Every structure is written in C-alpha cells, then in structure tokens.
Amino acid sequence: MILVSVGTQLPFDRLIRAVDGWAVDHGRSDVIAQVGPTRYRPVALKSFAHVAYDVFRDLQKECRVMVCHAGMGSIITAMEFGKPIIVMPRNHKLGEHRNGHQFATLRQFGDRPGIYPADTEVELRALLERVDDLTAYPTLNTIASDAFVEQLAEIVHQPAKTSKIRQLRHFLSGKRAGEPDRPGLR
C-alpha cells in the first residue's frame, strides 16, 4: 500500500492530483491518501481529510511507501518505521504555504538514503514509476543513548540563572539582588 499525506493544516492539491493521475493511469487501487482541507476529490485514491492519530500511525506502519509534503513529522516517521518516502515540498510561490521552509527541509534531508525528493509533479510521477523499487532508510533509533540522556539531564538540572532583564529591573527599582519583585514589576 502507498500512503499519501499532506498534513493537517493546508491543502496540497498539486501533490494529490499528481498521485491520483498516476494511480488512474496505472490502475492502482492500493493508494490511500490523507488529503486535508481540499475541494479536489480523487478518482483512484481512497481518501479522507483527517483521521485519528493512532489510526494514521497504523497506516504508516502498514504502508510500503510514503508520499508526502516536506513536513518534518512525515520524514522522521518514515525513518522511524523504515519506510521509503517520496517528498514533494509545498511551493510558497504557488500559494501552497507561507514561505519556502519546505524547500529548506528537503535540502537538509533530500540526500539521505530512503528519502526521494520531487520538486515538481514530473519528478514525483517519475519516482512513482519505480515505486516498487524504492528502498528505505534503516530504521531510526527511537531510544536515546546514555551519553545523550546524561548531557540533557545536566542541562535540565542546572540552577536557573538570573536573567539580564530581571537584573536590570532590580537595578532600576533600587533593590538589592535577591529581594523579591514588587507587585507590578516583573
């Protein structure tokens, strides 16, 4: 099964139309799509706007390949479950997003094994043509190393430092360090 996802915030009709057209052309009935808030109704894709988190995670675990927007959650989940992922960034110049951060995300991750970038519908369809040959990134370890946990604990357990703003407020109020703030001065 191929799982397509556009996230929950915005429609991404260009992605959905391209995958749907490919599925129609190839008679594929094994494509499920989370299409978000859209007016486009896919012809070949089994689609839904949104679904419960645990149901979607099960679909992600069961799928053979993921196709999605360049959202970090999708990329990390594909790596976690060891799924190949075709990633097409939303183009802010086409009004698909507020800025070009998804292109930046793809530049950072697009050269990693198991992540297949597609900037255009043509590139997306070319990757779909060989969808059964795509390989995954080895699964991402979801357990942090002891060294990382120890370093994080050290940071978390450091005593809080007095902020520069608080120090300035104390100075301006004429109080000595360590005296409590007066009401209204925070």
Q: What's the CA gap between 74 and 90, in Å, rounded?
A: 14
- When the pLDDT of each residue in the chain is averaged and rounded to a whole number, the result is 83
Question: Sign of the CA dihedral 155, 142, 115, 23?
Answer: negative
Q: What digits encode the pLDDT tens for the residues 122-132?
A: 999 999 999 99
Q: Which residue has the higher pLDDT, 97 or 84?
A: 84
Q: Give the total residue count for the chain.
A: 186
Judge whether 105 and 89 are in contact, CB under 8 Å: yes
**Rounded alpha-carbon distances, angstroms, from residue 117 to 108, 128, 152, 153, 157:** 11, 12, 33, 36, 41
Q: What digits encode the pLDDT tens for the residues 51-94?
A: 899 999 999 999 999 999 888 888 889 988 999 999 998 776 66
CATH 3.40.50.2000 fits domain 2-133: yes
Which contiguous run of DSSP H or E holds residue 31?
A: strand 31-34
pLDDT bucket at 185, cuts 50 / 70 / 90:
very low
Q: Which residues pair with 47 in a beta bridge?
A: 33
Determine the pLDDT at residue 113.
87
Q: What digits encode the pLDDT tens for the residues 2-30?
A: 999 998 778 789 899 999 999 999 999 99
Residue extents of the structural domains in the chain: 2-133, 143-186
Q: What's the CA gap between 10 and 8, in Å, rounded?
A: 6
Helices (H), the chain: 13-26, 53-62, 72-81, 101-109, 121-129, 146-156, 164-173
Q: What's the CA gap between 134 and 128, in Å, rounded?
A: 9
Give the mean model confidence (pLDDT) for residues 97-121. 78
Judge whether 96 and 14 are in contact, CB under 8 Å: yes
Determine the pLDDT at residue 183.
55
Determine the pLDDT at residue 99.
65
Q: What's the CA gap between 123 and 118, in Å, rounded?
A: 5
